[in-house]
Amino acid sequence: MTLSAASARATEYQANPRVELAAGYDDNLNLGTSSNEIAAADGVADARVDFLAQDPNWRLRATPEVRGAWYADHSAYNSNGEFLYLDGARTGQRYGLELFAFGASQSLITNYLPNANINTGLGTSQPGTTLATPASIRQNLGYLRPSYELDMTQRSSLELNVEYTNVRYNQQVGSYTNFRDFGGAAGLGLKVTPTGSITLRASGAAFQPEAGHTADRYGLDVQWDGKFAETKQYYLRVGGARTELSGSLAGTPAASSSTTTVTGGAGAHWTYTLTEIFVDLTRDVEPTGQGYTVNRDQLRLRVARRITQRLAAFLGARAIHDDPVPGSVPATVQAQRYNYGTVGFEWRFVREFSVIGAYNFTDYHYSGSVGQANAVLLSLVFEPHRPENGPAITVGY
């Protein structure tokens, strides 16, 4: 009885709600060309609750979220989404086990496009990124990524991870198609210096769209990880991936082909007393909701700076370049480019309430068209359980 009571006291439980109401203006909400732009005022509502249970050896977090956007006099572009984030971790003397899961049901209007939020760590692509012409359909996405690391000796370690993505659409319109993607990787790490280690990793994946070529991907890479402290780390990775395509496209006979892609990445995450910097540049072979695989170059950037105890500024960027793997689509399908930037501030005028102001810029090249948009947004955020001395910037942007 005493041991059970002690264990219960050692476990920490939290429920942290967050509600955001925002209003703004977008000069090209449909990301149309210069002759087809639609401008409108908009309103946004976002509500989430962060449930957390943890003790020194394990952590479990669940965050449900609902979000909606409404545009004055342009209801066809209204959108909504429901999301669920799950992550857990268990550590022992020689092992670490982590689990990340993500579920989403969202309208594929322009609001679903990637922003500067950082949802995964260095070197790990964020799930759900899909670039295509915005359409009035709904995407249901599930993503699961368990990982395991074992210290075999004081200098060597084994890492294993598995990834599974399942995407469904309520309508098969435009270029969207249902798909599944399953993959995994195994790596052998060796600690070379007190602050650095090198890992040799082999990976494989299978992409299975309901329409289009299936794609089997195999890769090998080597990665250097540097960790000066828990708050100062970086990595460098270089490798290659082989993609083997099979099946047929509409109106063409079945065929198979293969191609090789150079892959890699480099990034750093440094957290100082007043400043946080996250930058990550990756090149991978990724599936898309359009039924084909792409060579994806992606940049993620986040800079946050506390100016005073209650005022902070942030800068963020996301750049994605999707180039179809040769043979996966007709030669007429072009590469797509997406660039997003944001800059703003967060002013916490009392502990529970803050005001966030942001300017966002979007540049989108798709299907031979170019759309650019400028938007401003002013938000009021309510967080009743925010710690008195918590960080000035509390969420992504």
CB contact set of 34 (below 8 Å; sequence gap of 6+) = none
Q: Which helix (H) or strand (E) holds 239?
A: strand 232-246
Residue 338: both structure tokens together: 């997406």
Distance CA 366, CA 70 (A): 24
What pLDDT, on a 0 to 100 scale, did the predictor assign at position 397?
46
Coil, helix or strand at residue 10: helix
Place of tokens 């979000």: 67
What pLDDT, on a 0 to 100 scale, did the predictor assign at position 317?
94
What pLDDT, on a 0 to 100 scale, did the predictor assign at position 21?
96
Other beta carbons within 10 Å of 223: 20
Dihedrals phi, psi of 114, to nearest 5 degrees: -60, 145
Coil, helix or strand at residue 88: strand
Distance CA 136, CA 74 (A): 13
What letters, b where the CB count within 10 A reaches 16 and e where it falls short, cover 43-64?
ebebebebeeebeeeebebebe
Enumerate domains of the chain plus CATH numbers.
19-382 (2.40.160)
What pLDDT, on a 0 to 100 scale, did the predictor assign at position 286?
86
- In terms of C-beta density within 10 A (0-12 exposed, 13-18 middle, 19 or more buried), how is residue 315 classed? middle
Distance CA 341, CA 344 (A): 10
Q: pLDDT of the chain along its 397 residues, tens only?
A: 444 444 445 788 989 999 999 999 998 888 877 777 888 899 999 999 999 999 989 999 999 999 999 988 888 888 888 999 999 999 998 999 999 999 999 887 777 788 888 878 888 887 766 666 666 788 899 999 999 999 999 899 999 999 999 988 887 665 778 889 999 999 999 999 988 999 999 999 999 888 777 889 999 999 999 988 878 999 999 999 998 887 655 545 455 678 888 999 999 999 888 889 999 999 998 888 777 888 899 999 999 998 888 899 999 999 999 888 887 776 667 788 899 999 999 998 888 899 999 999 999 887 777 888 899 999 999 999 887 666 656 555 4
Distance CA 318, CA 362 (A): 10
Residue 205: both structure tokens together: 């994946």
Distance CA 122, CA 268 (A): 7
Alpha-carbon Rg for the chain, nearest whole angstrom, is 22
What pLDDT, on a 0 to 100 scale, did the predictor assign at position 4?
45
Global pTM?
A: 0.84
What pLDDT, on a 0 to 100 scale, did the predictor assign at position 134?
64
Ordered alpha helix ranges (H), 121-166: none
Judge whether 360 and 340 are in contact, CB under 8 Å.
yes
What pLDDT, on a 0 to 100 scale, did the predictor assign at position 6?
46
Judge whether 25 and 374 are in contact, CB under 8 Å.
no
Q: Angle at CA 311, nearest 5°, toward 306 and 317?
A: 60
What pLDDT, on a 0 to 100 scale, did the predictor assign at position 258?
80
How far, in Å, are 35, 158, 160 from residue 152 at the CA level?
62, 7, 13
174: left (phi over 0), alpha (psi -120 to 50) or beta: left
Distance CA 26, CA 377 (A): 9
What pLDDT, on a 0 to 100 scale, did the predictor assign at position 128?
65
Coil, helix or strand at residue 77: helix
What pLDDT, on a 0 to 100 scale, did the predictor assign at position 34?
72
Judge whether 138 and 111 are in contact, CB under 8 Å.
no
